[in-house]
Amino acid sequence: MPYVVDTTLRDGQQSLIATRMKTKEFEDKLEIFDQVGYHSMEVWGGATYDSCIRYLNEDPWERLKTIRKKLKNTKIQMLLRGQNILGYRHYPDEVLELFIKKMADYGVDIVRIFDALNDIRNLEKAIEYTKKYKMHAQGAISYTVSPVHNVDFYLKYAEKLVKCGVDSIAIKDMAGLLEPHVAVELVKKLKEKFDIPIELHTHNTTGLGSLSCYAASEAGIDGLNLALSPFANGTSQPAVEPFNQALKLGLNNEKILELTEYFWKVRKNHEENDMKMTSINAQILDSQIPGGMLSNLVSQLKAQKAEDRLDEVLKEVPAVRKELGYPPLVTPTSQIVGVQATLNVLTGERYKMITNEVKNYLKGMYGRSPAPVDEEIFKKALGNEKPIDHRPADDLEPVLKKARSEMGLLAQTDEDLLTYVLFGEVGKKFLKDKYEKSLGVDLNIAKEYEDEESSIYPV
């Protein structure tokens, strides 16, 4: 009988309402969550940090403190983007270690660590620091389907994760592409080869998620990631209620129903950001677009008054992905591919404009592409430049000392410093607003608020 990781407060709401749930909307229900019997709850990481400071005017660290205080019997976990931490580019090792140390200080139990390209070099330090600060390091396989991605590929990658010392492995199926028979084969072979827990994290976007979860449970999976029904299905995880019934998971159904009734009301609070997906989207089986990426594309096209061109963009995404060497579509590669595909459609000429992110990807600054990239695209973007062949973070200079000096009164804690380092002007604006009243002084710091990444990487 598999244990359950509840994803309602992180990936559930991120997939369905663009991570707009406020702490006050769930704070009073945490004690009820704590009585359900979950193995753990995914409550932080992913886009929650960004959304807190960009849209909700909340300190993400205060959110984490509140959750830890009220979940006394349930482990809490978060999603870390490896060397990207919670941002959209790589950060120096000193920043990564400080961030992981602070998570440990706040009582995080489990850190799920993934890299968009499944490049083990981008995970080594994150795993090392997670273990150093006595947390459970879960290595994630970013699952996708391509000519180079198959069960043998994932087994070899899992072996690298285990050699790095992970305590468990999660199959992270961002777009709901994992077919039931493949789930059975992959789970069985992982269980045969490695003596650590194996979990499945999938999405129901294509309709395969629930089928694959059930198949994985039959194959001996140790843990399933599920969400309360108000924040389940569609582009989110499968719902916990039917699995509790069908697999006799032993969760407290009375408490689940109490939470379910309440969270339907919470979801209604966010209708303007709701995906409102009422059925499956089989087109995703071809485009392989995960839920968060789909909402981003819709948002970008609306901003350009080009919503009617969504189908063109969905057809362009697989072509760009192939030309870039079949990267799995998950942050940040999903945004890199999605923005370039959108530009290719809207400009009327493929690669007429090439984003800096695509150029950096081609340079190897995000890691090694799973397959060779298209030579013509590479030459058009970079000419005769050669990509790097070492760990991208090795080229990064320390930034903490300089950032602390730049921020002055706005970096009163390590948490403040990290907010600025990870999110630049967005973080600076948040901290200015946070401290201006409490300090009683005008902290009108420098230039007009301007965020390079917000237009490229909307949450």
Per-residue pLDDT at 278? 81
Cα–Cα distance for residue pair 185/182, rounded to 1 Å: 5
Report all structural domains of the chain as residue ranges with CATH numbers, in order of start: 3-273 (3.20.20.70), 289-382 (1.10.472.90), 399-449 (no CATH)
Instruction: Take residue 10 and report the two structure tokens written for it.
Output: 């992180």
Cα–Cα distance for residue pair 436/417, rounded to 1 Å: 16
Per-residue pLDDT at 284? 82
Cα–Cα distance for residue pair 409/144, rounded to 1 Å: 45
Cα–Cα distance for residue pair 262/285, rounded to 1 Å: 33
Q: Which of 80, 144, 122, 87 is nearest to 325 (CA)?
A: 144
Q: Which residue has the tokens 């007009």?
A: 448
Per-residue pLDDT at 285? 84
* Number of Cβ within a 10 Å radius of residue 422: 21
β-bridge pairing 198-201 and 136-142: unpaired
Per-residue pLDDT at 415? 98
Contacting residues for 315 by C-beta, under 8 A, at least 6 apart: 287
Instruction: Take residue 4 and report the two structure tokens written for it.
Output: 């359950």
Cα–Cα distance for residue pair 187/375, rounded to 1 Å: 36
Contacting residues for 328 by C-beta, under 8 A, at least 6 apart: 116, 117, 118, 142, 143, 144, 149, 174, 370
Per-residue pLDDT at 441? 57
Per-residue pLDDT at 302? 84
β-bridge pairing 110-113 and 198-201: unpaired
Residue 198 DSSP class: E
Cα–Cα distance for residue pair 142/154, rounded to 1 Å: 9
Q: Show pLDDT as tens, one digit a residue, over the chain (459 residues).
A: 999 999 999 999 999 999 999 999 999 999 999 999 999 999 999 999 999 999 999 999 999 999 999 999 999 999 999 999 999 899 999 999 999 999 999 999 999 999 999 999 999 999 999 999 999 999 999 999 999 999 999 999 999 999 999 999 999 999 999 999 999 999 999 999 999 999 999 999 999 999 999 999 999 999 999 999 999 999 999 999 999 999 999 999 999 999 999 999 999 999 998 988 888 888 788 878 776 677 677 777 888 899 899 889 989 999 999 999 999 999 899 999 999 999 999 999 999 999 999 999 999 999 999 999 999 999 999 999 999 999 999 999 999 999 999 999 999 999 999 999 999 999 999 999 999 866 665 555 443 333 444 334 433
β-bridge pairing 136-142 and 168-172: parallel
Amino acid at site 61: W
Inter-residue long-range contacts of 128-131, CB under 8 Å, 24+ positions, other chains counted? 128/164, 128/165, 129/96, 129/97, 129/100, 129/101, 130/80, 130/100, 131/165
Phi, psi of 415 (to 5 degrees): -65, -45
Cα–Cα distance for residue pair 457/459, rounded to 1 Å: 6
Answer left, alpha or beta for residue 155, where phi above 0 means left and psi between -120 and 50 means alpha.
Answer: alpha
User: How far from 186 is each of 158, 210, 330, CA to CA, in Å?
Assistant: 11, 16, 20
Inter-residue long-range contacts of 209-213, CB under 8 Å, 24+ positions, other chains counted? 209/173, 209/176, 209/178, 209/233, 209/237, 209/238, 210/238, 210/239, 210/242, 211/180, 212/173, 212/178, 212/179, 212/180, 212/182, 212/183, 213/238, 213/243
Q: In 3-state terms, what secondary structure has residue 448?
A: coil
Contacting residues for 303 by C-beta, under 8 A, at least 6 apart: 455
Cα–Cα distance for residue pair 399/71, rounded to 1 Å: 35
Q: Which of 164, 215, 166, 168 is nearest to 191 (CA)?
A: 168
Contacting residues for 269 by C-beta, under 8 A, at least 6 apart: 25
Amino acid at site 263: F
* Number of Cβ within a 10 Å radius of residue 23: 18
pTM of the entire predicted model: 0.92
